[in-house]
Structure 1
Amino acid sequence: MRDGKVATLLIFILITSLMGSIYSTSDNLDKKTQNFDLLIEDFEFLSQKDVTWLNPDPWWMTTSLDSDRNGIHDSIQNATGLVNIGISFSREITEEDKTKLMNMGFEIRLELKSVNALLLGPIESYQAIDLANFEDIVMVERYGSVIFYGDIQTPSVKASNSSIYPGAWDLGVTGKGVNIALTDTGVDNEHPGLIGKFVAGYDAVCYNPSDPNCILAGFGQRPTDGTFDPDDANQHGTACMGMASATGVEADGSISNFTGAAPDAKLIDVRIGTDVGAGPFENYLLEQEFYESAMNGIQWIIDHKDDAWQGAQEEDYGIDIISLSWGITSHENGGSDGTDMHSRILDEAMEAGISVSVAAGNDGPDNDGLSGMGSSSLSITVGATDDQNTIDRSDDTVASYSSRGQRKDNGNGNPIDELKPEISAPGSNIIQAEACVTSGGCNNFIGGDASQNTYTSRGSGTSYATPSVSGIIALLIEANEDLTPMQIKEVLKQTSERKGEPSAPDIDPYWNRDFGYGMVDAFAAVSLAIHLKETNQTMSMNPYIQNHLLSVNYENTSSCSDCVEIIGHTWGQMGDVEGIQYRVDDGPWTFFDPNQLENNDSSSEIGPLTPLIWNLPIYHSQLSGTYHEIEIRSTSGDEHSLPVLVNVYVSPNSIQNQPFSIINLLIVCLFVFVAGYSIISQKKNDTAFSISKKFHNGFFNPSRVDESQKLDSDNALDAQLIHD
């Protein structure tokens, strides 16, 4: 009977091992992963060519706006008469510099400390040469003109929920404690849907009592400490703030569906227009004044980003977001390359910790490049989609007016910062919060207010896509206050819904010139932001390490017959990827051998933006239970990419998810046959010896037996029979 018991035990062991993919324990996971673990010190990635743009030349040495490198924008050299001029220094500006310039007859209209620049107003074009020869002035450039780019939107971006999509609000975030600096025509915050939002404000034009527009309007200098509350002289600003943050409240107290993406976000009202008109549909008196006020407004925001506003709660201190639904025209063919001072000042805002959402522009598919502001290298540039007046995103198209990429090359060797826009959102036929201008039965010019106004009329433009993204950024900041502006930008990019074919696959396999990296998805973005916070990954996440999922295969895998195969690719934008880690269900991180990383270059050195394909098999025997989250990230030093999250369902009764191969079935049948034969022939010693020999030759490989595992005396006798 002994041999029969042994055979029965073998059948039990075999069947149990085959069912281990269904009923495994966490201990099995730790042991099984050792089959493809690879410590980082034991594995070396293919070497990557040096990233040349890590140590670029100064921007004035590479800009495309000064082709002859004489320190003067090319457009000025062909101009005659008066030209509005700004100058940039290679260093901080001193009082001595300003004194020398005034002694030369120049008026200093505004200093922009963030970009070491001065605005001088109108001068004769030939004087640009004198300025270019001034010590440490590295660029003389021309003012641009300020242009404003001007229900379904909020559920369509998945901020609020709908019958089709979940919403980010369901995750417990509404923008509370986040301040949006809407830099526009002013906001009528007494509108029912905007009541209680005003925290601070600034009039970026009438800060100067000698300004002729302010004189005509009957005002002198206005306070600069944030206590001034500008009204809307146009409608544009109120509409944009409504799309970012309206609560949907009507004058009678009822609640409508006309909500912004972040209904609890607050307002920093920075007006770049005046009471005598600053909008795109009005005849303003001195166009260049609005360029100066726009630049002044952004500088004021940077200077006051950490202020404790008078009368505000502590959670409402400071400035978190700049929302810009306008642009500045470029005088250069092909648009701006991001080196003009208005683009650079937005870069400074991003680096100062303020997230910048800016409109791409309304020049359509045949634009010759993006204008200033939208060309800022670091800002989040927003294109517009047409949602076809439905929440369903599957029918969304790029809006016909939305400006397309790429941006003009700034010559710094980095092709990534030319990939504009980064993101897109609905911008067509959007219902607007009504300002007190010429509609709603009131007018700010004669002492009215918007307290009885509603949401009416429709507007279109990248102007209206941008504040929706600003509101989504507010949701991200509330969800994870430790995210930096560049991390926020990367979260928005990686969680967006891809649209269109890649337009520059050699640079990035996901960017499209119409949609950017895709249509913004507030629910996915906020979910990822919360995950980063809850798993303590925020501080170590490097937005320049790229890691993306390609496929998840449950059958016909190249790695194994009893695993879930996860395939992705990774690359570095600012240096090498050094390793790849994974974990299961919040377990410990483990470096793994990505199954011989592949690329299309047979040489040992690859380009800095070349994706490397990784392959991660997760064996069914590693997974106890049915639902699991697999997390994969690329690493470089102590930093890592955003994680790829894969939810895996392993069903015990599913052939697809738990493959039981023909080979396994044959093995079971053979064991049953052998065991039966063993039981019938148990009295024949030579047969027992024969069976033992078959096990030895056919199924067990003695070379794989761990010598440290010693048998007891009874089993040792059987072992001698097997090896006889």
Structure 2
Amino acid sequence: MITKHIKKFNSSFEGFEFPPQKDVTWLNPDPWWMTTSLDLDRNGIHDSIQNATGPVNIGISFSREITEEDKIKLMNMGFEIRLELESVKALLLGPVEKQQAIELTNFEDVVMVERYGSVIFYGDIQTPSVKASNSSFYPGAWDLGVTGKGVNIALTDTGVDNEHPGLSGKFVAGYDAVCYNPSDPNCILAGFGVRPTDGTFDPDDANQHGTACMGMASSTGVEADGSISNFTGAAPDAKLIDVRIGTDVGAGPFENYLLEQEFYESAMNGIQWIIDHRDDAWQGAQEEDYGIDIISLSWGITSHENGGSDGTDMHSRILDEAMEAGISVSVAAGNDGPDNDGLSGMGSSSLSITVGATDDQNTIDRDDDTVASYSSRGQRKDNGNGNPLDELKPEISAPGSNIIQAEACVTSGGCNNFIGGDASQNTYTGRGSGTSYATPSVSGIIALLIEANEDLTPIQIKEVLKQTSERKGEPSAPDIDPYWNRDFGYGMVDAFAAVSLAIHLKETNQTISMDPYIQNHLLSVNYENTSSCSDCVEVIGHTWGQMGSVESMQYRIDGGSWTFFAPNQILSGDNDSSSEIGPLTPLIWNLPIFHSQLSGGYHEVEVRATSDDQHSLPVLITVYVSSNNIQYQPFSILTLISVCLFVFVAGYSIMLQRKNDTDFSISKKININFINSSRVDKSQKFDYDNALDAQLIDD
């Protein structure tokens, strides 16, 4: 897991001293198996196994690396080793009797005997709605020059019919996670042996789910006749790593799967293969298409414990390992609706980006968007590690209702992959709903971010998505985080704002030093004269540390030198700047920007919080100054693109005009147009209408 040096430090600036901040003491240093909610009696075995009758599918987790001697001992004891998961130091053993499972708790250095979960798939308007493409309502991230080029998405699903005209040319590498074992009955029935593991195998889709999801992530919108439709994915130039966890027989892995055990094993095998091959130079690929950048998971694994997963099961932990290995993971929250008791495995992964679904009402305008009725709500079940932040799931929401799908071969009459058919003549048809279909849209947006700024880590990408999202709903856990909502997460994803911020971080060399655990947010801009701010604009925000202390505040104008500033006021939640405050307690800051400081034209103001040599994401404020007017505008990266503000696209020019209708007067010299900021708690509308959608297949 990610660790960070935690230091208590009180800095001062010309007599100003930050309030003393307590060290982070709420973190429990015990290992996960000592705090998990899946083993409440702390005897090293999932509680549900002890209550089972008959054989139970199990895996065992070790506190250390697994040795060949371990495997030999287990085989001599009569166990079959189905799969080794090196990333989480675990072995999958398949079905065993309950008493045998209990006895395995005594095996040397086994820290948990775990029960397999059950894998469930969650299954036009979407892309402009998430602001990937532009529309008459909103600007789009594509207009910033990014389309996902050079980024590989590992679509881990039922396979993808990449012969579809909208997916043609995207295949880079593939793997059949089902037929990795030559004794697998599904492979025997289909007439196949073990498949190659070097990425050269190209799986087909036996269900439709995988093709639909990849279309939502990266379809080009091309039709069979060569014409271009509006059914594009969020990242139309992203490429495909096709990892199938489905079957070669029947309709798909969640239908007609001979053994539930095998589906779980193939799912885990697929993810382990991705981690192992994340840096591969794929056969026949260009260098820019090497490796794996993103895992897109539109399915979950149910827990046998009451209340869902707490993120300590091996299928959640392996996703944490993928994030740590440098692969961004976008995973569905699930389709259990508002009354769920926690989230399923996969979506409960502490580090992954968990995606909830919105209903865009089939419009691009984001004003009417609501949380989808089926979308699983947070929080995640508590894992007992003392950190309340990792229970705040989901992080992001995206359109997931009534989404048009790329049509796989299996869903069109007369097309059969097994007798030489393919999806090359197929179109985009049918509508589906589910967090399954919200997730690949976010995967595509992550591809845009990686193209925009290749130095961003998966954790930084998650933070950029969170900070640039459009806030929805009241905070559900204000004592932990003032922005998270159990329905929408930190808000509805905004591709344009996220890519703008990613570009800014790259162009200003702030990526490497950005610490996602230092929080700094814009609250408001005060345009009225006050005792502390006459003839100026007062920028107000708040800051706090999630893993340590905030040491100082800095600002700069137009990319100049960073200047430390001592706010006129800095208040903790109880308005007492002298008392020691605890972790997660925001400090309010303010910064006056005087008219006399700025010449005519556009100016960009940045404010950030710092700790040691690292800093928060910057608050970005764009100001336009004329002889008697200042306009405050959103997404300051646009002003750096200069006249693009006015020749951008017709839709964005209209939006700016609409947002600029009302000016707020400070004095005769200064007017403020309060539009928005890329990191303010936004009231701005989001365009989710052009988002792709999916249907929960397993009703």
Instruction: Judge same fold: TM > 0.5, yes or no.
Output: yes
Partner SS state of residue 464, structure 1? helix
Match for residue 236 of structure 1 among 189, 209, 213: 209
Residues 200-220 of structure 1: CA deviation (Å, up to 9, x unaligned) = 000001011111111011100
CA-CA distance at 1:53 after TM superposition: 5.3
**Cα distance in 2 between the residues matched to 1:658 and 1:508:** 33
5+ residue gaps in structure 2?
Answer: 1-10, 631-663, 670-699
1:98 corresponds to 2:106: no
How far 1:192 sits from its partner (Å)?
0.3
2:506 aligned partner: 533
Question: Structure 1 residue 659 and structure 2 residue 667: aligned?
Answer: yes
1:340 is aligned to 2:324: no
Find out whether 1:517 has 2:490 as its counterpart: yes
Is structure 2 residue 346 aligned with structure 1 residue 410?
A: no
* 8 Å Cα contact 2:529-2:536 kept in structure 1: no
Partner Cα separation in structure 1 for residue 580 and residue 413 of structure 2: 65
- How far did 1:39 drift? 6.3
Aligned to 2:58: 85
Amino acid at match of 1:272: I
Amino acid at match of 2:438: A
Corresponding residue to 1:451 among 424, 427, 431: 424
SS of the residue corresponding to residue 48 of structure 1 reads coil
Structure 2 counterpart of 1:480, one-letter code: N
Listed as ranges, the matches of 1:260-339 within 5 Å are 260-277=233-250, 279=252, 282-339=255-312
Residue 395 (structure 1) shift: 0.4
- Residues 153-186 of structure 1, C-alpha deviation per residue, up to 9 Å, x if partnerless? 0000000000110000000000000000000000
Does residue 162 of the first structure (1) align with residue 140 of the second (2)? Answer: no
Q: Deviation digits for residues 7-34 of structure 1, max 9, x if unmatched? A: xxxxxxxxxxxxxxxxxxxxxxxxxxxx
Counterparts of 1:411 and 1:92, CA distance in 2:
24
Q: In terms of mean alpha carbon deviation, does 243-252 or 652-661 score higher?
A: 652-661
Corresponding position of 1:624: 599
Deviations 1:403-427 (A, max 9, x none): 0000000000000000000000000
SS of match in other structure, 1:653: coil
Separation of aligned partners in 1, 2:580 and 2:490: 28
Q: Which residue of the partner structure matches residue 615 of structure 1?
A: 590
1:434·1:456 contact (CA, 8 Å) conserved in 2?
yes
Quote the residue 1:635 is aligned against: 610
Amino acid at match of 1:88: S
Structure 2 counterpart SS, 1:345: helix
Pairs within 5 Å for 1:498-577: 498-577=471-550
Q: Which moved more, 1:635-644 or 1:129-138?
A: 129-138
Number of aligned residue pairs: give it.
624
2:366 equivalent in structure 1 = 393
Which structure has the larger Rg? 1
**1:593 corresponds to 2:566:** yes
Between 1:316-325 and 1:434-443, the stretch displaced more is 434-443
Matched position secondary structure for 2:411? coil
Selected match of 2:442 from 454, 469, 480: 469
- How many angstroms does 1:280 deviate by? 6.6
SS at match of 1:101: helix
Question: Cα offset for 1:245?
Answer: 0.3
TM-score, normalisation: structure 2: 0.88
Partner of 2:350: 377
* Alpha carbons of structure 1 residues 135 and 44: separation in structure 2 relative to 1, 3 Å: farther
Supply the distance in 1 between the matched residues of 2:95 and 2:452 (Cα, whole angstroms): 47
Question: By how many angstroms is 1:605 displaced?
Answer: 1.3
- Per the TM alignment, residue 56 of structure 1 is displaced from its structure 2 partner at its CA by 2.1
Change (3 A) 1:653 1:211: same
Shift of 1:604: 1.6
Q: Letter of the 1:495 partner, please give it.
A: T
Aligned position for 2:153: 180
Query: Does residue 1:582 correspond to 2:555, yes or no?
Result: yes
Instruction: Answer yes or no: is 1:432 the counterpart of 2:408.
Output: no
Equivalent in the alignment of 1:247 = 220
| TM score, norm. by length of structure 1 | 0.85
2:642 alignment partner in structure 1: none
Kindly indicate whether the alpha-carbon contact (under 8 Å) linking 1:147 and 1:280 is maintained by their aligned counterparts in 2: no
Deviation at 1:42, TM superposition (A): 5.4
Change (3 A) 1:654 1:198: closer
CA displacement at 1:443 relative to structure 2: 2.0
Q: CA deviation at 1:595?
A: 2.0
The 8 Å contact of residues 493 and 517 in structure 1, kept in 2 or not, is answered as: yes
Identity, in percent, stands at: 91
- Is the 2:38–2:46 contact (alpha carbons within 8 Å) kept by the matching residues of 1? yes
In structure 2, give the amino acid aligned to 1:158: K
Amino acid of the residue matched to residue 614 of structure 1?
W
Structure 2 letter corresponding to 1:97: D
Match of 2:654 in 1: none
Structure 1, residues 460-481: CA drift from partner, whole Å, max 9, x if none? Answer: 1000000000000000000000
Deviates more, 1:176-185 or 1:123-132: 123-132
The aligned counterpart of 1:115 is: 88
Report SS of the residue matched to 1:71: coil
- Letter aligned with residue 48 of structure 1: Q
Relative to total residues, which structure has the larger helix share, 1 or 2? Answer: 1
1:202: which partner in 2?
175
Counterpart residue number, 2:326: 353
CA contact (8 A) 2:28 2:384 kept: no
Q: Deviations over 1:102-132 (max 9, x none)?
A: 1111111000000000000000012122111
Name the SS of the counterpart of 1:546 in structure 2: strand
**Distance (Å, rounded) in 2 between the aligned partners of 1:242 and 1:278:** 19
Q: Which runs of 4+ in 1 moved over 4 A?
A: 38-43, 654-658
Q: SS of the counterpart of 1:605?
A: coil
**Counterpart of 2:122 in structure 1: which amino acid?**
Y
Structure 1 Cα separation of the partners of residues 416 and 308 of structure 2:
37
Report if the CA contact (8 A) 1:652-1:658 is conserved. Answer: no
**For the residues of structure 1 that align with 2:344 and 2:374, how far apart are their CA atoms?**
14
Distance 1:423 1:119, change over 3 A: same
Offset from partner CA, 1:177-200 (integer Å, 9 cap, x none) = 000000000000000000000000
Q: For the Cα contact (< 8 Å) 1:44–1:578, is it kept in 2?
A: no
The separation in 2 between residues aligned to 1:580 and 1:559, in whole angstroms, is: 18
Greater alpha carbon shift after TM alignment, 71-80 vs 45-54: 45-54
Output the CA distance in 1 between the equivalents of 2:303 and 2:443.
Answer: 25
Contact 1:406–1:418, Cα closer than 8 Å, also in 2: yes
The 8 Å contact of residues 52 and 414 in structure 1, kept in 2 or not, is answered as: no
Instruction: Report if the CA contact (8 A) 1:187-1:241 is conserved.
Output: yes
**Displacement of 1:48 after TM fit?**
1.7
Give the letter aligned to residue 604 of structure 1: S
CA distance in 1, matches of 2:566, 2:369: 40
**Deviations, residues 599-658 of structure 1 (Å, cap 9, x unaligned):** 123462111000000011111111111432110000001000000001123443349556
After TM superposition, give the deviation of residue 49 of structure 1 in Å: 1.9
Amino acid at match of 2:22: K
CA distance in 2, matches of 1:644, 1:245: 31
Q: What code does the residue aligned with 1:424 have?
A: S
Between 284-293 and 40-49, the greater mean CA deviation after superposition: 40-49
Q: How many Å separate the matches in 1 of 2:49 and 2:333?
A: 25
Conserved 8 A contact 2:521-2:543 = yes
CA distance 1:595–1:277, shift in 2 (3 Å): farther
Are residue 645 (structure 1) and residue 620 (structure 2) matched? yes
Confirm or deny: 8 A CA contact 1:626 1:649 kept in the other structure: yes
- Alpha-carbon separation, structure 2, partners of 1:329 and 1:281: 13
| Whole-angstrom CA distance in 2 between matches of 1:422 and 1:510 | 10
Of residues 581, 605, 609, the one that matches 2:580 is 605
Residue 139 of structure 1 aligns with which residue? 112
Structure 1 residue 44 displacement after superposition? 3.1
